[in-house]
Amino acid sequence: MTTSFTLSTPVMPAEWEPQDAIMLAWPHRDTDWCYMLKEAQACFKEVACSIIREMRLIVIAPDVDDVKRQLQDLDHNERIVYQEIATNDTWARDFGPISIIDGDKRLMLDFKFNAWGLKFAACHDNLICMKMHENGIFNAQTIDCQDFVLEGGSIESDGMGTILTTSQCLLSPNRNRHLSKLQIKDVLKARLGAKKVLWLDSGELTGDDTDAHIDTLARLVPGNTILYVKSDDPSDEQYDSLQRMEKELKSMTNAHGEPFRLMPLPCPAPIHDEEGNRLPATYANFLITNSQVLVPIYNLPETDKLALDTIAQAFPDHNVVGIDCNALIQQHGSLHCITMQIPKNFLKES
């Protein structure tokens, strides 16, 4: 793992660019899923089944034999690459490696993960990228970026120099307190190749504990398009913030100065936990793979269908698949949060 480095022309690929694999960290009894472990594992299994229809899947778990037993009946399970590594939790999007192309070099950036501003334990999860590097599964150089806190769910890239993020998350005092907004922007430019950083100052889902991750709110997709969460209900507690966010998005342009095509996604009806707390359900938390878009749905027929239809319009060449994620939002995350894509030629052949 390299600790001293200078990048010349880094580019963070867009999620819809060709991929080798998707990464999952499996739920087990020592995670926060312990009280509903069967439901969580069933959802992860459905996600895994969808992924291995077309590509490889990296599964990280402290006991891979247990996971192998759970997945032994899946077709194409030979496409699963197991990594026996200790984990605190399952949010691979946020502790997984950030993939960068720098000229002819493939790089995995290992940023510091401190569990969304020191909210939870992260002693194992922050070491996962290093452990994967030591296991030698990557066809890429791993770069130590532990001097900067950054979660994958907090940034969106169009692969052409535009990075979309939120001020609330990246400027959180428990992440990079010692750095100013300008200094954080400079880090994104130097390490992710950002030519233009777009900051959303508004937009947050009730119950979200990530400090407004961008992948719960607005997503860059092909065709210079943004899919974003929109509320049409003035009585919804999220309405004002999402209205302000929409106004900001309408004023934004990409790194080439071009305005975005905006496509609204519906806001699901409120879903609550057993104690009556609203959960951060969102359709924006979808995963793009080589030929599919896996979309979280919530047993809400009207908005589920509208979200799937809208995403299908944005991805006419992909198969759009809805996956029930009511289990995932019980721990305040959804489908994109549990996954991390590994771009083409970044994973060694098995």
For the chain, domains (ranges, CATH) are: 10-343 (3.75.10.10)
Task: Retrieve residue 247's tokens.
Answer: 């106004």
Distance CA 105, CA 12 (A): 12
Tell me what pLDDT residue 7 has. 87
Which of 191, 118, 106, 119 shows the shortest CA–CA distance to 148?
Answer: 191
Task: Retrieve residue 171's tokens.
Answer: 């400027």
Whether the Cβ atoms of residue 261 and residue 224 lie closer than 8 Å to each other? yes
| Alpha helical stretches, state H, 115-160 | 115-118, 128-134
What integer is the mean pLDDT of 205-216?
Answer: 97
Distance CA 253, CA 272 (A): 36
List, for residues 169-191, the tens digit of each pLDDT value. 999 999 999 999 999 999 999 99
Tell me what pLDDT residue 349 has. 85
Which of 99, 295, 314 shows the shortest CA–CA distance to 222?
Answer: 314
Active-site residue list = 337
| N-to-C CA span, the chain | 21
Which of 220, 219, 217 shows the shortest CA–CA distance to 230?
Answer: 217
List, for residues 297-325, the tens digit of each pLDDT value. 999 999 999 999 999 999 999 999 999 99
Distance CA 69, CA 95 (A): 26
Query: Percent of the chain at pLDDT above 70?
Result: 99
Distance CA 109, CA 150 (A): 10
Cα separation values, 40 from 175, 244, 284, 332, 342, Å? 29, 34, 20, 12, 23
Q: Which residues of 144-180 are buried (b: 16+ CB within 10 A; e: fewer)?
A: bbeebbbbbbbbbbbbbbbbbbbbbbbbbeebbeebe
Tell me what pLDDT residue 6 has. 81
* Entry pTM: 0.97
Which of 173, 224, 258 shows the shortest CA–CA distance to 14?
Answer: 224
Whether the Cβ atoms of residue 266 and residue 307 lie closer than 8 Å to each other? yes
List, for residues 135-152, the tens digit of each pLDDT value. 999 999 999 999 999 999
Tell me what pLDDT residue 4 has. 63
List, for residues 212-228, the tens digit of each pLDDT value. 999 999 999 999 999 99
Which of 33, 128, 120 shows the shortest CA–CA distance to 87?
Answer: 128
List, for residues 271-283, the tens digit of each pLDDT value. 999 999 999 999 9
Distance CA 21, CA 172 (A): 31
Distance CA 107, CA 153 (A): 19
| Alpha helical stretches, state H, the chain | 37-52, 64-71, 92-95, 115-118, 128-134, 167-170, 173-176, 181-192, 239-251, 301-314
Distance from the Cα of residue 118 to its chain's centroid = 19
Distance CA 333, CA 326 (A): 10
Given pLDDT bands bounded at 50, 70 and 90, which one contains residue 121? very high
What integer is the mean pLDDT of 197-225?
Answer: 97
